[in-house]
Amino acid sequence: MFLGTCGQQYFNEILRSGIKTKISAGGDFMNKLHFTFGPVQSFVSQARRTIDLFSGSFLLSYLAAAAIKAIQDAGGKIVFPEVEKDPLMQAIKGEEKGFVEVGSLPNRFEAKIPQEKTEDIARRASRALEDAWNNLAGEVKRLLDKEASELINNEFGKIWDRQIKNFWEVNWVIGDQPRLLDIRKNIRNFPQQEEPGEKCNQCGERQALCNKDKADKKETRRYWNKFAKKINENHALTFRLDGAERLCAVCAVKRLIAVVRPYPWKVPEHYPSVSTMATLTWKDVVINKSQEHKDVLKEVEKYVQAMEEAKLPFSDSIKAFPHWKELAERDKSRVIEKFLRLDGEWLFKESFVKSEFPGKKDDLTIAKSKKVAADFVKTMKEKWQIEKPSAFFALLVMDGDRMGKLISDFTRDSAKISQALADFSIEEVPGIIQEYHGKLIYAGGDDVLALLPVDKALYCAKIIAKAYKDAFEKRTPPEIKKRATISAGIIYAHHKTPLGILLKDGHDLLDNVAKEETGRNAFALRVWKRNGPILTYSRKWKEINCLEQFQKVFKDYPNRFLYKFRDMPFLNELLGGNDDLQSILTAALLKSREAKLERIKAEELALKFYRVISSCGEQKKLDLDGPLFIRFINQEVPYANNIGTS
Ligand SMILES: [Zn+2]
């Protein structure tokens, strides 16, 4: 086996003396190349806006595509994943010049390569990846040079080059054992770059861009105050103003690549904010109502006019949701179109603060538009029974259970497995996410990452889990398909919670709760209020219907009562004795000042409570986070059709 890395002629002498694995392919000897690059998790999760998340995963796929193309051009064949159907791969090869919606290639792949060329091809792939990255970063730098030339000097250039060059660590090994790659990755070659001065406030790792080396916070802030204003002149809303955002070169590339879009094919021009995602279902309900009642449309119009007068920006959000495009086209007055193009955050009073207001900044305008927005929400509630819009959105993270093990146990069938995964991620997932009004961030192989409205996220995940099974059902033999399951982590978060933290927690929820604790083939839900997580609920997919039972039973329970009960440690021990638990529940219900129940009602509730809790779940434990989750959904989106399980 051979171990290589990009940028250096580095070989581990001991490992080098190992024997290369030979694979006979039609008489020629082929070597197997395992290729990977990173950092991946931090590159994607260091995000302040949804566009950063999207760009991060799209760039990773783009760089993978560049390396894959170099291997194919030099006579190599990609054996994992299946790339022939991949839209980004087709676009990069010039076979398709259409629209690439989302990143879909992983940062790790395997190829078969003619024996005599293996090392050469591996190096070429590394170089192609580096070149692709440098070219993209170069396009962004050109934009900055053009738009903010007076703010860019030598020092700026030095910081830029230091951070962009050698950002990626590329690793490859030649041999039959993919685990060699993990060994290789642990042999680090690059010393960590020294990063002086004020750090980027997106990643916290690298120095924020500035025209001075070792600039402190004050200097950096002053610099970004001017820099952001300059860039925003021609590219509205790219950066937050007043020096509130101070990015390094890598984070700036992620933000600005969405402005530059230097590809010969189309990519999404707009990525909806989490506030827009949170308020999506509410807007749908209001628009539905406005089609029956002209008075509702008038209220919408009043709101839209006030926001327009305050010079709030209209985004391209209708392009992000096909059903919004239809709604907008149906209304000739264009009121609905404008309503949908306003960011969801302009339905919340707390958004109308001077420092972050992107419209007309005088106190009177801000106060006036704030009042109109508040009155609009109030009128919808009082006159039209549409409760206030939810401030929560859902982040969905899914991946296949024990995928690495499945592939290594069935190496001979790896082509069939890749076929199934390609069917799943390319043909099934994007359509399902769209149907549930979500926005896909990444779908490739067995991985899915998406944003969704809270009322639809769980059911959407359930449909995706079924699509995963179906894809394996069609393509693979029985011993594989019975092991092909997928798990999901769903974070329900307040729209002001930092995205990077949520993404990390989403992966933690998926790996440690849905997979480790619940045993895979499972979902895990977690609700984050502004101050942090308040509940976590996880079950196998087959027990998802429990939530519907909770829905029926627990609607009469006072909220605080459920929380109080959840935190009583001795209740689980009592669950074995039916009578005890029931009488304790009855007593607690009677005591609850919030509930104000008569004895007979309390007894009835206690019985129902006991029955549903003990019939739901194999673990027979009193888990009130399920009922609490249902309460949360009902309170957040009472105007939605269902709770998101069916
Ligand atoms: Zn950064």
Distance 208 CA to ligand 1 centre (A): 7
Cross-strand partners of 515: none
Distance 468 CA to ligand 1 centre (A): 35
Distance 505 CA to ligand 1 centre (A): 20
Interface pTM (ipTM) of the complex? 1.00
pLDDT tens digits for range 551-567: 777 766 667 777 777 76
Nearest to 277 by CA among 456, 484, 445: 456
pLDDT tens digits for range 609-624: 777 776 775 555 567 7
The pLDDT of residue 29 is above 60: yes
Contact between 50 and 271 (Cβ < 8 Å): yes
Distance 283 CA to ligand 1 centre (A): 34
* Reported confidence tier of residue 7, pLDDT bands at 50, 70, 90: very low
Distance 418 CA to ligand 1 centre (A): 34
Distance 140 CA to ligand 1 centre (A): 15
* Reported confidence tier of residue 443, pLDDT bands at 50, 70, 90: very high
Distance 279 CA to ligand 1 centre (A): 29
* Reported confidence tier of residue 643, pLDDT bands at 50, 70, 90: low
The pLDDT value recorded for residue 12 is: 32
The pLDDT of residue 23 is above 50: no
pLDDT tens digits for range 404-434: 899 889 988 988 999 999 999 999 999 999 9
Distance 175 CA to ligand 1 centre (A): 36
Distance 52 CA to ligand 1 centre (A): 11
The pLDDT of residue 11 is above 50: no
Distance 349 CA to ligand 1 centre (A): 30
Contact between 281 and 455 (Cβ < 8 Å): yes
Phi and psi (nearest 5°) for 644? 95, 15
Distance 508 CA to ligand 1 centre (A): 22
Lowest-pLDDT range, 9-18, 160-169, 267-276? 9-18
Distance 47 CA to ligand 1 centre (A): 9
Q: Can you give 161-185 as a three-state secondary structure string?
A: HHHHCCCCEEEEEECCCCHHHHHHH
Distance 38 CA to ligand 1 centre (A): 15
Q: What angle do CA 637, 640, 642 make, to 5 degrees?
A: 105
Distance 321 CA to ligand 1 centre (A): 30
Distance 197 CA to ligand 1 centre (A): 13
Distance 215 CA to ligand 1 centre (A): 15
DSSP structure string for 318-348: GGT-HHHHHHHHH-TTSHHHHHHHB-GGGGS
* Reported confidence tier of residue 584, pLDDT bands at 50, 70, 90: confident
pLDDT, mean over the chain: 87
Distance 136 CA to ligand 1 centre (A): 16
Nearest to 523 by CA among 594, 465, 593, 570: 465
Distance 147 CA to ligand 1 centre (A): 21
pLDDT tens digits for range 97-149: 688 889 999 999 999 999 888 899 999 999 999 999 999 999 999 999 999 99
Distance 288 CA to ligand 1 centre (A): 42
Q: What is the length of the chain?
A: 646
Phi and psi (nearest 5°) for 46? -75, 85
Distance 206 CA to ligand 1 centre (A): 6
What is the mean pLDDT of the segment spanning 501-518? 96
Distance 250 CA to ligand 1 centre (A): 6
**Tokens describing residue 511:** 């790996």
The pLDDT value recorded for residue 538 is: 94
pLDDT tens digits for range 519-555: 999 999 999 998 899 999 999 999 898 888 887 777 6
The pLDDT value recorded for residue 17 is: 28
Distance 199 CA to ligand 1 centre (A): 8
